[in-house]
Amino acid sequence: MKNLILFITILALGCTCAAVADEFTKEDLKKWQAEYMAAVKEGEKLFHSSSLGKNKVSCDMCHPNGSNTHPETYPKFQKQIGKVVGLRDMINWCIQNPLEGDILKADDPRMIALEAYITHERRGTPLAPGKH
C-alpha cells in the first residue's frame, strides 16, 4: 500500500512536471515547421499527380490549386456518402470515384500529406463545421 501511494505520488509529480516542461526552443519550432511544410509540399505533389488513381485523373483537374475543397466545413453531412464524415472521407471518396483508385488509410502518410496541403491552402479561414 505504501508503495502504491509512493508510486501514485511520483506519477502525479511526473505529470505536473511534464506539463510545465512543455517548452520548446527556436530550433524545435524551425524543425517542426520544416517537417510540416514537407508534408504540405508532398500533398501538393500528390494533388497534382495521377499516382493516387488508376485512370490518369488528378485532383487538380476538378479542384485547381486545391480549390472547392472547403476543409474548414468538416466534419459535415455529405450527400454522396449519406452521413456526417471527415475531410479524409471525402478525399477517399474522390480517390475511389473520379480517380478510380484504392482508398488510403487514415494514417497513410499520403493521406496526412493531402490533408496538410488542402488545409494549408485554406489557412486563416474561420472554422465552419457542418456548413454547406
> Which residue ranges make up the site for ligand HEC (CB under 6 A)?
52, 57, 59, 61-63, 68-70, 73, 87, 90-91, 94-95, 98-99, 114, 118
Q: In terms of C-beta distances under 8 Å and separation of at least 24 residues, what long-range contacts does 77-82 make, across chains too?
A: 77/130
Closest approach of Cβ 131 to ligand HEC, in Å? 9
> What sign does the CA torsion over 90, 94, 96, 97 have?
positive
Quote the CA–CA distance of 27 and 10 in Å, as a whole number.
31
Q: 17 or 106, CB closer to ligand HEC?
A: 106
Q: 40 or 69, CB closer to ligand HEC?
A: 69
Closest approach of Cβ 79 to ligand HEC, in Å? 7
Quote the CA–CA distance of 94 and 6 in Å, as a whole number.
54
Q: 91 or 116, CB closer to ligand HEC?
A: 91
